[in-house]
Copies of this chain bind each other. A is one copy, B any other.
């Protein structure tokens, strides 16, 4: 197994903490603070408005997009950063629907992240067209792909269970029925091997604050297959997606290719932090990450099942069927997670009863996994979760 000691040393990991929540928010890359401070002082401070050209801020969403493209099997020039994942879902979904005017079903599954479903609901409401969001169980997606479907919109890795869809097979099936596909890679980018080109995906979106470690509120990314990029309508037709943003024409003309999916002014501080985070990825091969992730998650399942007989595995046991997280069901999961966090092992909880753990090879090793499982065993053995302070729910978990 590839040794990730070197990348682990590139993160700030608080002493005494075992962090298994990088699938929700990646930790701070050590270089990020100085990268952002440098950008603020040397670029914003010294260059002021001229930083847009001189420091290359204006093209940063494309430059960082190209770095992410490598990690998700997309060609250079097919990915651009900006906005949030929900906004990018809206753009991609609107563009896809527009390309399938005679069809009226958006097909998704109940394992999709709710915000993707909400965005689809809002878009349908806005469009006022006879469109239906059809949400089926994940295992029934294939049989619901019909000639009615305009867009198959799925999150590749289920945010609760970690269950992994077969992107290539479902995309081929969708194409066979004339439908387009939109893949949410929130729990895929930096987590598993993704090959957007080989799988034939039409649109993809993702966030950069989970496995990619870009920091809280890091910008999203959007991919449009090159064959569609000059035809896709961006829906949110903002000035930075214009063919000539600084010509200040009164009429919108979409820019070439992926540029048209840009909307407004990019968040340069967030992009500076992301830049430092992506430096760590530059030397990494996703095949090695995946192999290590499988080893870590398999070991974690073994150890938790050994130490915690009351927990029930909620993720597929076959590593080929799951992403880079492992989830367990436990009736008192919320309180148990709070108790575990109080013991220095951080995972998270998803209603109603899911205890969720991200296995992130860049900074998580076998010792961390064993320690986490043992600590969880102690929380359960000693019923540490059964204390009032852990049973009280906070607003955000």
List of B residues within 8 angstroms of A33 by Cβ: 37, 40-41
Q: Which of A62-118 contact B (CB under 8 A)?
A: 83-87, 90, 94, 98, 110, 113-115, 117-118
Structural contact, A87 and B263, CB atoms closer than 8 A: yes
A226 interface hit (Cβ, 8 Å): no
Structural contact, A40 and B49, CB atoms closer than 8 A: no
Q: Which of A192-246 contact B (CB under 8 A)?
A: 207, 209, 215-220, 233-239, 242, 246
Per the bound structure, the CA–CA distance linking A268 and B233 in Å amounts to 30
Per the bound structure, the CA–CA distance linking A385 and B391 in Å amounts to 70
Contact A220 to B119, CB < 8 A, known contacts A37-B36, A49-B21? no
Structural contact, A217 and B119, CB atoms closer than 8 A: no
Structural contact, A270 and B217, CB atoms closer than 8 A: yes
Per the bound structure, the CA–CA distance linking A52 and B268 in Å amounts to 21
**Among B87, B233, B250, which residue has its beta carbon within 8 angstroms of that of A236?**
B87
**Which residues from chain A sit less than 8 Å from chain B, CB to CB?**
12, 14, 17, 19, 21, 24-25, 27-28, 32-33, 36-37, 40-41, 44-46, 48-53, 57-58, 83-87, 90, 94, 98, 110, 113-115, 117-119, 121-122, 125-129, 135, 207, 209, 215-220, 233-239, 242, 246-252, 263-271, 273, 341, 346, 348, 350-351, 394-397
Apart from the given pairs A25-B49, A58-B396, 9 other A-B contacts in the complex at a CB distance below 8 Å? A25-B52, A27-B44, A36-B40, A50-B341, A53-B395, A84-B238, A127-B127, A207-B265, A217-B267
